[in-house]
Structure 1
Amino acid sequence: MTAPAPPSTAKGKATWARLVACARAEAIRTGGTVEIAPVAEAAGVVPSLVNRYFGSKAGLVSAVVDDFFDRLHAQVLNIDLDSAGDWATHERLRLEQGVQFHYADPFAVVLYTQLSRDPLVARTETERIEIVIQHAAHNIRRGQQRGELPAHIDPEFAGAAMFGAMRQVMVAAMRRRRRPRPEQLVGMLWPQVAAAVGLKPEI
């Protein structure tokens, strides 16, 4: 089932965004379960409007997943850090930003571990993760073209390894009552990132 297109009017866009924010808050509050009635009540709309905008509860949850990955791209993945130095230098900075992003967003651990999934939600998450991996692969290819990364490294495999490692380490960290300091996680993750692209973790 395909979700309806987002509304085009300013009022409709504001309502759509408010529903996504309320659904995100509900998922955080419940530990991964989203129901239309409490989301609609929190947003100050009738439940039928949720179906009008998103097609179904699954469409609403998928929009929350999309919102998370949109923010991940805007705040971490799409930032141009080339001026910071070579590939290793700017990607360690990006890793630091990624750790901070996940720590600042309580929805991250819900998404990665507890979010109730129907096929539409699972497909949305899978598609967004693939986009992240392809983005990382493109970044690795740029490093190879500049001679900053070994040419024999498979960019897609390396990108998958990098995101997979970060995701699982962040889940373990965010589940702890006392979270490790961000710099501890970066220090643990960076050698894995470096190994994935054939570098020695010297910085």
Structure 2
Amino acid sequence: MARAPLGRQQLLDAARDELVRGNGVMELSALTRRAGLSTGALYHHFGSKSGLLAAIYDAFYKGLRHATADAQLPADADWATRERDRTYRFVAYHFADPLAPVLLDRTALDPQLTELEAVYIQHMSDNAAANIRHGQTLGQLPTDVDPDSAGAFVIGGLRHGIAQQLRSTPLPSPDQAAERLWRPTAASLGIV
């Protein structure tokens, strides 16, 4: 009995599994064996291996944006309390996704994705800067902190800090890791 052709989501799931198993290396032959399909299905849905990897990146960062969105945070809290919660959510998201260590420890899974990854990081840094400006406008952050530099610093620090925490032995809990990363974040922003 022939297998039904796998759809787009099944290809994404199989590719994520291969990336995790291969620590960032995904051979098309292994992917097609795992998924039980031909490379034609991959090219039909994604155009190329880079297109498949870009879709994986998109899904990861879309989930991260959702997990850390303002709608997920306590509406009536002060700026620092909301941002501490956002930091915990940022860390928890990475700890929950087995692909996160692969994405954080490699500059890019494919040379063609370097620019795409830079766009995601810039977008997160820009959002962090806008958020810092908002905290300054509310009078809850010092005004002598440059929001653009601080936003880049916070996002870069969190990404590298999470990668370091994920390599730790024993592995800390997401709450422990988030607390370890919140302290330097708060200090860099002048939060007492």
Task: Please tell me the residue identity of whatever aligns with 2:29.
Answer: A
Residue 13 (structure 2) pairs with residue 25 (structure 1): no
Task: Please tell me the residue identity of whatever aligns with 2:60.
Answer: F
Distance in 1, matches of 2:90 and 2:127, equals 14
Which residues of structure 1 form unaligned runs of 5+?
1-11
1:141 matched residue in structure 2: 133
Give TM-score scaled by structure 1 length: 0.82
1:171 matched residue in structure 2: 163
Select the residue among 65, 68, 71 that pairs with 2:57: 65
Please state how far the C-alpha of 1:191 moved relative to its aligned partner. Answer: 2.2
Mapping for residues 41-190 of structure 1, pairs under 5 Å: 41-114=33-106, 117-190=109-182
Which residues of structure 2 form unaligned runs of 5+?
none
Q: 1:117 to 1:99 in 2, by over 3 A?
A: closer
Give me the CA root mean square deviation. 2.2
Question: Could you tell which deviates more after superposition, 50-59 or 19-28?
Answer: 50-59
Please state how far the C-alpha of 1:155 moved relative to its aligned partner. Answer: 1.6
Task: Please tell me the residue identity of whatever aligns with 2:73.
Answer: L
Give TM-score scaled by structure 2 length: 0.87
1:142-190 per-position Cα deviation (integer Å, ceiling 9, x unaligned): 2122222222322221111111111112111211342123333233222
Question: Could you tell which deviates more after superposition, 127-136 or 172-181?
Answer: 172-181
Question: Could you tell which deviates more after superposition, 86-95 or 152-161?
Answer: 152-161
1:198 matched residue in structure 2: 190
8 A Cα contact 2:165 2:171, kept in partner = yes
Distance in 2, matches of 1:166 and 1:183, equals 14
Task: Please tell me the residue identity of whatever aligns with 1:150.
Answer: P
1:11-40 per-position Cα deviation (integer Å, ceiling 9, x unaligned): x9x822221221111100111111223323
Q: 1:78 to 1:15 in 2, by over 3 A?
A: farther
Distance in 2, matches of 1:66 and 1:167, equals 17
Please state how far the C-alpha of 1:126 moved relative to its aligned partner. Answer: 1.0
Task: Please tell me the residue identity of whatever aligns with 2:182.
Answer: W
Distance in 1, matches of 2:74 and 2:134, equals 11
Please state how far the C-alpha of 1:102 moved relative to its aligned partner. Answer: 1.2
Please state how far the C-alpha of 1:197 moved relative to its aligned partner. Answer: 2.0
Sequence identity of aligned pairs in percent?
A: 35
